[in-house]
Amino acid sequence: MSEQDITVPDLGGADEVEIIEITVSVGDAVVEEDPILTVESDKATVELPAPMAGKITAITVKVGDKVREGDVVGRLDVAGGAVTEEPPAEPEPAAEEPAAEVPPAAAPAPAAGGSRQEVVTVPPLDGLVDIPVIEVNVSEGDTVEVDDPLVTVESDKATMEIPSPFAGKVGKILVSVGDKISEGDRLVEMTAVDGGDVAAESSQPASAAAPSAPQAPAPAPSAAAPAQTSNELPPAGAKVHAGPAVRKLARELGADLSRVKGSGPKGRIIKEDVQAYIKQHLQQAQSGGGVSGGTGTGIPGVKLPDFSQFGEIERESMSRMHIATARNMERSWLNVPHVTQFDDADITEMEAFRKSLKAEGDKRGVKMTPLPFMLKACARALADMPQFNVALDLDKQEIIRKRYIHIGVAVDTPAGLVVPVIRDVDKKGLWDLAREVIELAEKARDKKLKPAEMQGACFTITSLGGIGGTAFTPIVNAPEVAILGISKASMKPVWDGSAFQPRLMLPLSLSYDHRAVNGADGARFTNRLSELLGDIRQLLL
Ligand code: CAO
């Protein structure tokens, strides 16, 4: 066993550099050239490699320290005492800022004043050719400064970013990930701004910023907050600042670095950020998914742009009810193969009867709307067609048949959508149902519903009849297998075989789970409802 100091090698002209990342820990085994530290000067970010293979026995510096060539940063236990006398390898270019070896992408000298169209080409790459592009760091429309990374390429030895030779606006991107590029290849079309200080422009307040101002950077996480705890993601197309070791880790773990919020200096992404990002995604997958950041189904979440670039915005927390409803909707929509069957029921006679009940309703203190008739008709249709009164247990590959008929009614409240459940609808009369709908709707609006009053439904009715519309496609309230949407009844000319008759037609929209119900039964169910509502005497049979 032989211990050896790890010292800072020749820094390629840089005098003093700051340590921004320590990529190893005491006890780690490293091989020659493995990155030990990442340091940053005014001009470049570089990784300091291990001078030889061994085991790290001490790290004598910390993030934020400034070091110079020759400074000791740690100690290495060199296995078998095989200490090589060779000087440490030259620092490898890291992927963040322009690497020392990679000059800015080739471009003609700017003319004085104004803007001009340019095509950025690949600069000399140390004689390397056909280097694969592993990341395109900009998007069309982005505003960039001189030296902002345009694309990242990866050779056998290093990952390098090709920086922009000038400030301006990115036009058409001429390469994509996987392309192999060599010196002189066309990279990006740009509108170059001569002498323009894009950085200065973009740091102006939004009101003073040019319309093409770049997207605001993601807010830096507070020191105490673990990385990636918020759902807020870097704006789409945000530039990625990360060293090669972090990029390698992200590739290994399948993390999209453009979705990772950096907590290192200047928003740089460090290993812990990638780990926290992966952890958060695993937790989301286990808990059934996040509202905007992914669903846990492998379906990518929707990227949010920085809306403030389009106009004034305001953020407000979602209520717990809203979050719960959003998750339920998402779950049902993603899990249930939906089909929606439309039909019209002739409710001319039903309406005449309902209106005739007005005086009695006033006496009873209950308003009779069309909804109790719908509840009764659905209960009868569910009894007639029990394949709609089931739940699927796919784990056990069983169908659960319900011998009761409880129906949920969607109620619109200021706090969001709630679905109280009316039990044993088949056993109740119209007045009881009318009273119960009113009571439950009132409780829902006053937030007084008990959990038990929102559980146990076999089927749901959602009525927009008091509002309007001709049809809609309701989302099944899983694990139920069907939901009836009701739209506003209207007078329509209906052909009776010899003439058009004015009839009051009620639009029905039945969405069902196509795993439980086939299309023919979907149409039979709405037929049956139309029959029952068209002649409500049948409800007595
Ligand atoms: N066609 C024509 N008129 C209708 C109708 C229909 N299908 N359904 C109800 N109406 C009439 C009622 O008769 C009543 O008219 P009058 O005041 O002239 O008597 C008026 O519309 C209002 O009815 P209502 O909405 O107060 O009562 P309801 O029994 O029809 O509905 C309830 C009760 C709780 C379902 C309803 O208030 C509600 O919240 N609806 C919205 C549900 C919802 O948001 N669903 C969306 C789910 S998907 O996001």
Q: Which ligand 1 atom minimizes the distance to the CA of 489?
A: 1
Helix (H) or strand (E) holding 508: strand 500-513
How many contiguous H segments (helices) and E segments (strands) does the chain have?
Answer: 9, 28
Q: Domain extents for the chain?
A: 1-106, 112-211, 222-287, 322-540
How long, in residues, is the chain? 541
Give the pLDDT of residue 99: 38
Strands 398-401 and 390-393: antiparallel
Q: Whose CA is nearest to atom 22 of ligand 1?
A: 466
Q: Whose CA is nearest to atom 13 of ligand 1?
A: 369
- Is the CB of 418 within 6 Å of ligand 1? no
- Rounded Cα–Cα distance for residues 292 and 300 (Å): 10
By CB atoms closer than 10 A (0-12, 13-18, 19+), residue 157 is exposed
CA–centroid distance, 469 to ligand 1, in Å, is: 12
- Residue ranges of the chain with pLDDT lower than 50? 80-103, 107-113, 196-232, 235-237, 288-293
Q: Whose CA is nearest to atom 5 of ligand 1?
A: 465
Helix (H) or strand (E) holding 352: helix 348-356
- Is the CB of 441 within 6 Å of ligand 1? yes
- Is the CB of 465 within 6 Å of ligand 1? yes
Contact 24, 33 (CB under 8 A): no
Name the CATH superfamily, with its identifier, for domain 322-540.
Answer: Chloramphenicol acetyltransferase-like domain (3.30.559.10)
- Is the CB of 485 within 6 Å of ligand 1? no
Burial 63-92 (b: 16+ CB within 10 A, else e): eebebeeebebbbbbbeeeeeeeeebeebb
Q: Of 340, 344, 380, 392, which Cα lies nearest the Cα of 522?
A: 340
- Rounded Cα–Cα distance for residues 427 and 512 (Å): 24
Fold of 112-211: OB fold (Dihydrolipoamide Acetyltransferase, E2P) (2.40.50)
CA–centroid distance, 486 to ligand 1, in Å, is: 9
Domain 1-106 CATH assignment equals 2.40.50.100: yes
106-120 pLDDT, tens digit per residue, is 544 444 447 788 899
Name the CATH superfamily, with its identifier, for domain 222-287.
Answer: E3-binding domain (4.10.320.10)
Its pTM stands at 0.54
Q: Give the ranges where 194-347 is alpha helix by DSSP (H).
A: 198-202, 244-253, 271-287, 320-335
CA–centroid distance, 2 to ligand 1, in Å, is: 84
Contact 59, 22 (CB under 8 A): yes
Contact 402, 459 (CB under 8 A): no
- Is the CB of 369 within 6 Å of ligand 1? yes
CA–centroid distance, 493 to ligand 1, in Å, is: 24
CA–centroid distance, 467 to ligand 1, in Å, is: 7
390-421 pLDDT, tens digit per residue, is 999 999 999 999 999 999 999 999 888 999 99
- Rounded Cα–Cα distance for residues 122 and 125 (Å): 8
Q: Of 101, 109, 84, which Cα lies nearest the Cα of 47?
A: 101
Strands 180-181 and 390-393: unpaired
Same fold, 1-106 and 112-211: yes
- Rounded Cα–Cα distance for residues 74 and 48 (Å): 12
Order of all β-strands in the sheet with 186-193: 115-121, 186-193, 168-173, 143-144
- Is the CB of 411 within 6 Å of ligand 1? yes
514 is catalytic: yes
Q: Hunting for tokens 């394949």 — which residue is that?
A: 387
- Is the CB of 506 within 6 Å of ligand 1? yes
E-state strands within 186-248: 186-193
